[in-house]
Amino acid sequence: MKFVVFDFDHTLFDADSGTKLVKWLIQRSRWRVLLAVLVAPLAAPLIAFIPTRRYGISVFVWIGTLGLHDEAEVNRTIDLYVDENISDLRKLFMPIALAQFNEHLAAGDTVIVATGAPTELARKLMREVTQEKIPVIGTILGPILGGMHAIQHCHNENKLVMMRAHGYDAPIDIAYTDSFADLPLALAAAHPVIVNPKSSSVDDFRRALPAGTPIVWWGAHGRAGDRV
């Protein structure tokens, strides 16, 4: 039996799920849209860099969640978003990815999802497509100034820190991810598999990971990798 970790966005799901959620949250009202437009020149550039990414994301999360004051209320709103959009969201799951995921489940492997997306969002989406209660470790939101922000971003090295904090400290047998920001996760796995990477990161992955590490394309639009 193996311990297997899957990233979510662009690995199982052909989009940035958190961005889609935040866009929906902001578009609920005109004043949120206006506020997002006003702060975008300052907040958006922060998202491009790993050390500041959490702060840039938190600005837009805060705008989208103003008026939501606790985790339970946020989770209900996330569930509403998924329920209202489930037909379109289901189409973004890649069949090859789900087949690989289900193969590990059928083999009795311990399988978790570790993602930068909000925990409830990834958990709800995985429940919709697998009918299983998949353990999900994701970004944790907490209250600030009448809204919510990311208090623990499940990203880069912190993804491993959060996994260990949730009791998943066993050696990782296989890790699937698309993102070079997940290099710490890939290096921690006995058998990393790079899925749907950006073309610009393929050479970086080849330099950083052992020779022969699979770099595969599972169907993500505009992404690279060897066809399966």
- The answer as to whether 79 is a domain residue is yes
Phi, psi of 31 (to 5 degrees): -65, -30
Helix (H, G, I), strand (E, B) or coil at 161: helix
pTM over the 0.85 mark: yes
CATH number at residue 19: 3.40.50.1000
Q: How far is CA 129 from the centre of its chain?
A: 16
Residue range 190-226, pLDDT digits in tens = 999 999 999 999 999 999 999 999 999 999 999 999 9
- The answer as to whether 196 is a domain residue is yes
Residue 24: name the closest of 67, 72, 80 by CA.
Answer: 80
- The answer as to whether 228 is a domain residue is no
Structure tokens given for 1:
């039996």
For residue 77, give its domain range: 3-221
Residue range 54-92, pLDDT digits in tens = 888 889 999 999 998 888 999 999 999 999 999 999 999
- The answer as to whether 227 is a domain residue is no
Q: In 27-70, where does DSSP find H-type helix?
A: 30-47, 53-65
Judge contact between 60 and 77, C-beta under 8 A: no
Phi, psi of 10 (to 5 degrees): 65, 5
Residue range 85-114, pLDDT digits in tens = 999 999 999 999 999 999 999 999 999 999
For 151: left if phi > 0, alpha if psi spans -120 to 50, otherwise beta; the answer is alpha
- The answer as to whether 19 is a domain residue is yes
Number of domains in the chain: 1
Q: How far is CA 222 from the centre of its chain?
A: 18
- The answer as to whether 123 is a domain residue is yes
- The answer as to whether 15 is a domain residue is yes
- The answer as to whether 56 is a domain residue is yes
